[in-house]
Amino acid sequence: MFHPIRLWSLYKIGRRTHRKMLIVDGAMSFTGGFCIADNWLGDARNPKEWRDMMVRATGPVSAQMQAIFGEDWTYTTGEILAGDKFYPRIAAAGEVQAQAIKVSRGDSSSLAEMLYFVAIQSARKSIHIQNAYFVPDAQIREALIQAARRGVDVRIMIPGRHIDMPLLRMASRRHYGELLQGGVRILEYNRTMLHSKNAIIDGIFSTIGSINFDARSLLQNNEESLAFYDRDFAARLEATFTADEKGCREVTYESWERRGVEQRLAEMVSGLFEPLY
């Protein structure tokens, strides 16, 4: 167990792993937003069945995922996973270029945030993001606005009324104004809780994994995702994004500006805890 709760170590309760990964025989790996709980047993047919996505990868990238798993295992147990049993020789599989990305608490900088920032800054046509918990820092928000202003189709799909963490939703909505005025489109998914953590850039670069667009995921948790450079794979994700848009309500600046005093107060209070989300 990673950081079991003890009375004498409650101060470490925020040091957690949020990684969601399964590696089979060191040669096949799965990741995404999925957890092992009842909410993931259905197909988003009602609010009790969450909307999520997972990806299966084979080939050498699974060795990278195994190394990320090994990092947590060694930290938790002290045992080092090594040798052919855990890292078998893996032949290339398919033609999709893939790479594992990780966030580890204590890193001098967030490699995941840098990757997203560079991808957003490099976009020329489209940025389509699905994310369960969207509270990006000022640098990422500005990068999204700059992308929209240079003509990039920037769409952010996030949970609507069925979100499991309403306080975080208020913190997210606090920043809607600057994003909407900057040309970013915001879509709230209202069929059930949207728990996906995906991004598609220019229809060729895409990511799927456990990483949320918030300070905790990008800087404090242990996290991981897979990045892919392939048009066919990105097209499949785009098709899913388009299908999910049918269950969304688009937020306009006018509707956001008309929100009541209670909501404005809730946004202000939730913003005080923004570094903790």
CB 38 within 8 A of CB 93: no
Does 125 qualify as catalytic in the annotation? Answer: no
CB 223 within 8 A of CB 32: no
Does 20 qualify as catalytic in the annotation? Answer: yes
Does 197 qualify as catalytic in the annotation? Answer: yes
How many angstroms separate the first and last alpha carbons of the chain?
Answer: 22
175, 195, 214, 244: which one is catalytic? 195
CB 54 within 8 A of CB 32: yes
CA distance 17 to 195: 17
Tokens of 123: 């976009």
Nearest Cα residue to 116 out of 231, 53, 209: 209
102, 128, 197, 214: which one is catalytic? 197
Does 84 qualify as catalytic in the annotation? Answer: no
102, 137, 175, 202: which one is catalytic? 202
Helix, strand and coil percent figures for the chain, each rounded to 5: 40, 25, 40
- Could you tell me how many helices (H) and strands (E) the chain has, helices first? 9, 11
18, 102, 162, 175: which one is catalytic? 18
CA torsion sign, 205 to 119 to 246 to 170?
A: positive
Burial class, 3, CB count within 10 angstroms (exposed 0-12 / middle 13-18 / buried 19+): middle
12, 25, 43, 125: which one is catalytic? 25
Does 25 qualify as catalytic in the annotation? Answer: yes
Residue with tokens 């509270």: 135
Residue with tokens 């608490």: 105
20, 128, 162, 175: which one is catalytic? 20
Active site residues: 18, 20, 25, 195, 197, 202
